[in-house]
Amino acid sequence: MNGPEIGLAEIRQARERLGGRLRRTPLVEAAPLLRTLPAGRLRLKLESLQVTGSFKVRGATHKVLTLTPEEIRRGLVTASGGNHGLGVAYAGHLAMAPATIYLPANAPPAKARKLERWGARVVWEGNVWDEADAAARAAAARDGATYVHAFADPAVIAGQGTLGLEILEDEPETDLLLVAIGGGGLISGVATAAKALRPGLRVIGIEPVGAPTLTNCLQAGRLVELDRITTVANTLAPRGTAAINLEIIRRTVDEIVLVDDEEMRDAARWLWFEMGIASELSGAAAVAALLAGRVAAEGKRVCALVCGAGTDGLNG
């Protein structure tokens, strides 16, 4: 494995560090999506109700809690499609550290406005996350600021893994766990925790058809970058992942399935009209995999992670 080992002990330590700074989000029973899923067999983990509206704040805040006072004083820099930036901005707010967030052109302007309300400085750079990330790394090196990676940092992965602890504590008999994949930080942490607590549980990752980053890497058996990105679910659309995430996913994730943008949009609509849950496209990806029949869920106790808030389900 590349870098420090990340296991159940590190994830539990992350939860201790986070303390009461974040919300323990609810795990709610959902109306059956499928005839093969009777009542009581599908639960939704609502990270859309987390502080800043997504799971990203877990990893970002945990990372900042591991920094020295001097590192905090020099400020925080990151690149984001929006949600990770909000997590870093919130963590900076808690630590009283200045935060600069580099956003690509495909990030929603509404996310930029939220970042500024949390006190962050926003810099627009490049067309996709990878281009914004290169600029953020260069700025951190130039200015001596602390760079906070969106998915390839062990402290970030451990913070995201606290979700897995909560899910298995609230529903220990979960058989199938559905998690959206962008760069792979979320599923790396969640799958590590879930497999340690319940080894027989299956973890399935969901990627957009228009950004099959981990699918391509696993098929190639190595890190590869996408030639182009065609999904509008920008928070699930880096061109590449990192060695640490690929290695963890190879060991802990049982399968990755693909959903297209319209299937995610349909799932976001279902979440709003059936459950009153406002989700962005990427936040609805796990539910989209169920609705579109990409996952064999018959007879399983299923948990789908609703990982980000948004308004994509409110119209249409």
Percent of the chain with pLDDT over 70: 98
Q: How confident is the model at residue 3 (pLDDT cuts 50, 70, 90)?
A: very low
Domains and CATH numbers, the chain: 8-54+154-306 (3.40.50.1100), 56-147 (3.40.50.1100)
Bridge partners of 78, per DSSP, are 101
Average pLDDT, the chain: 95
Q: How confident is the model at residue 304 (pLDDT cuts 50, 70, 90)?
A: very high
Average pLDDT over residues 281-289: 97
Q: How confident is the model at residue 316 (pLDDT cuts 50, 70, 90)?
A: low
pLDDT at 293 (0 to 100): 94
Q: How many CB atoms lie within 10 A of CB 110?
A: 11
Bridge partners of 122, per DSSP, are 101
Q: For residue range 58-117, what is the model confidence (pLDDT) as tens digits? A: 999 999 999 999 999 999 999 998 899 999 999 999 999 999 999 999 888 999 999 999
pLDDT at 39 (0 to 100): 74
Q: For residue range 10-44, what is the model confidence (pLDDT) as tens digits? A: 999 999 999 989 999 999 999 888 877 777 799 99
> Residue 177 above 60 pLDDT?
yes
Q: Report the alpha-carbon distance of residue 31 to residue 102 in Å, rounded.
A: 39
**DSSP string of the chain, one letter each residue:** --SS---HHHHHHHHHHHTTSS----EEE---SSTTS-TTSEEEEEGGGSGGGBTHHHHHHHHHHTS-HHHHHT-EEEE-SSHHHHHHHHHHHHHT--EEEEE-TTS-HHHHHHHHHTT-EEEE-SSSHHHHHHHHHHHHHHHTPEE--SSS-HHHHHHHHHHHHHHHHH-TT--EEEEE-SSSHHHHHHHHHHHHH-TT-EEEEEEETT--HHHHHHHHTS----S----S-GGG--S---HHHHHHHHHH--EEEEE-HHHHHHHHHHHHHHH---B-TGGGHHHHHHHTT-S--TT--EEEEE-BB-STTS--
Give φ, ψ of 276 to 5 degrees. 70, 25
Q: Report the alpha-carbon distance of residue 252 to residue 181 in Å, rounded.
A: 13
> Residue 220 above 70 pLDDT?
yes
> Residue 4 above 80 pLDDT?
no
> Residue 1 above 60 pLDDT?
no
Q: For residue range 231-241, what is the model confidence (pLDDT) as tens digits? A: 999 999 999 99
Considering only CA atoms, give the Rg of the chain. 18
Average pLDDT over residues 275-291: 96
> Residue 2 above 50 pLDDT?
no
